[in-house]
Chain A
């Protein structure tokens, strides 16, 4: 498992301990890489934006982009690289079409600040803002299939109208190409 933008490694450490996975993290900030080392993780200091050249093709079963996805300079390039080095990709992002976000824009006329988007526009590290529908279109254009998805808000899992009620979305992506069944990329997603 490869965790891109692993931060201080707290999550990866839990994953390694709970699931016993063989994992490694990539992190740009040397101070955070030092924390990963302190946790005993295999870590690599590097900038995802510069590619994942250090890894061979199909090295990993899973590549994780959790909370990093919206900070990527080029999501297209990174997702492409992720599918080169790994078979499946797990992406987490914040849904920008959540109804509270919509209401804030509509009634306050300001860039929204919510529980899942806590920073003001000039402080956030996010470069991209997207909804579940946007993500579906992204997958379609990338030729990848989002086979499983879980949507959450502060109350738990969201079953209905996720594009309106989900705050956080976690998606499992698989490259459409090696799929023998050739599922339509958008086929399994309902919004």
Chain B
């Protein structure tokens, strides 16, 4: 720390811009969007001998992952980014096929929240996902047919176990930080408890130690929509005929829970969709309706319905303490924490983060907690969010400097 360090005045908190992009960046078509990273690729690695918590053993697991930045000679600048329910390995930069930005392009890149000039940033698709990592869509070793509902149950801890193997494969023995929002936050928590020696900093964002009844209820609506779609066929649907309608409805419900009353009013209000033809004019629709339809449809094109079932189950089943006394679980933790919640997040409301912080502090884990006033609901961590960006960037920078591998002369 520098004595008498002056705080930069132009770093004054400002509200996010009015034309803020809502929802996953990867579902948007943003005219003229530029990523400083340009086109970025994902890689795939085959990891052997993965056993799930339920006792199933995969002889081999494919993991799709992306790395950005450069691993330092001492291999001590690696940050693992854990994605949320609908995320992918492609966290930042433009996708080589679709040209769309990665889901966290706002926050990962040179000079951004997670600075790729400074850190080696890794993101992998979770076990049970559908973006290149082994999941229900993957072929069975014997028959070559998709696992479907025969895929073993997946837990957050299983996802983390696979990530740990990937990190090992990349030659990293200790992560500088693990960061993630929502389901990604649960993974970050799991890392701190199950691999205490391998995590220096843990940054759970807009997450909780276990789902409450409301969170399970919303997931159940989504699952029910998929299960009752005639095309679902017990999970054995043809790849070209997935349960589109069910999955779209699941996404619509989910998407609403990620927004806030403010963000919906601000962006849509009661605006009407311009009529496409005269028949449509009679049945005028609100813009929010067509927006949700679009969200549902675009999701169907990139997500697998069975994966949605498996991952939402993993979310609902997650219990940070797994029924053990919290003191016992947290005694193992070595990481320092930055916990972030958003005041407008009604899906993972701030009291859930406060409950986490309360346990951490009561067990003497160094934890900083901030509840940001961002108005955009649960999605606040995905959007361009200067307040969030500043807090995370400053935290990482400070800890980085403290860790003693800041380049000489660099000042925030």
Contacts and interface: CB of A to CB of B under 8 A. Distances in A.
Nearest to B327: A56
A54 B387 CA distance: 24
B362 A56 contact: yes
A59 B5 contact: no
Contacts of B401: 40
Interface string A22-61: 0010000011011111111111111000000111100100
B325 to A, nearest CB: 14
Interface residues of B, number: 31
Contacts of A45: 369-371
A37 B358 contact: no
A56 to B, nearest CB: 5
Contact of A40 (B1, B362, B391): B1
Interface string A80-108: 00000000000000000000000000000
Interface in B1-27: 1, 3, 5, 7, 11, 13
Contact of B391 (A37, A46, A55, A56): A37
Interface string B354-391: 10011001101011111111000000000000010011
A39 B1 contact: yes
Contacts of B412: 38
B354 A54 contact: yes
Nearest to B5: A39
Interface residues of A, number: 26
B398 interface: yes
Contacts of B74: none
B7 A43 contact: no
Contacts of A13: 1, 5
Contacts of A55: 361-362
A179 interface: no
A168 interface: no
Given A34-B387, A35-B7, A54-B361, A44 B368 contact: yes
B1 A33 contact: no
A30 B398 contact: no
A16 B372 CA distance: 25
B357 A37 contact: no
B368 A34 contact: no
Kindly name the residue among A33, A35, A44, A46 whose own CB sees the greatest number of chain B CB atoms within 10 A: A44
A37 B368 contact: yes
Contact of A8 (B7, B362, B366): B7
Contacts of B364: 56, 59
Chain A interface main SS type: mixed
B367 to A, nearest CB: 7
A30 B361 contact: no
B357 A44 contact: yes
Contact of A43 (B11, B368, B402): B368
Given A17-B1, A59-B364, A44 B394 contact: no
B395 interface: yes
Contacts of B387: 30, 34
Contacts of B395: 37
B390 A34 contact: yes
A27 to B, nearest CB: 9
A40 B201 CA distance: 13
A38 B362 contact: no
Contact of B13 (A34, A41, A43): A34
A8 B1 CA distance: 16
A30 B362 contact: no
Nearest to B337: A42
Nearest to A10: B7
Residue of B361, B367, B390, B412 most packed against chain A (CB within 10 A): B361
Contacts of B373: 30
Nearest to A18: B3
Given A17-B1, A55-B361, A55-B362, A37 B394 contact: yes
A42 B367 contact: yes
B145 to A, nearest CB: 51
A144 B11 CA distance: 43
Interface string B81-110: 000000000000000000000000000000
B314 interface: no
Interface string A53-74: 1111001000000000000000
A36 B1 CA distance: 13
Contacts of A8: 7
A46 B361 contact: no
B338 interface: yes
B354 A30 contact: no
A54 B370 contact: no
> A33, A44, A45 — which one has the most chain B CB atoms within 10 A of its CB?
A45
Nearest to A34: B391
Contacts of A34: 13, 370, 387, 390-391, 394
Of the listed residues A24, A30, A41, A53, the one surrounded by the most CB atoms of chain B closer than 10 A to its CB is A30
10 contacts: A8-B7, A16-B1, A34-B387, A37-B398, A39-B5, A39-B7, A40-B401, A40-B402, A43-B370, A54-B361
Interface of A: 8, 13, 16-17, 24, 30-31, 33-46, 53-56, 59
Given A33-B370, A37-B398, A54-B362, 15 more contacts: A30-B370, A38-B394, A39-B5, A40-B398, A40-B401, A42-B367, A42-B368, A43-B370, A44-B357, A45-B369, A45-B370, A45-B371, A46-B354, A55-B361, A56-B364
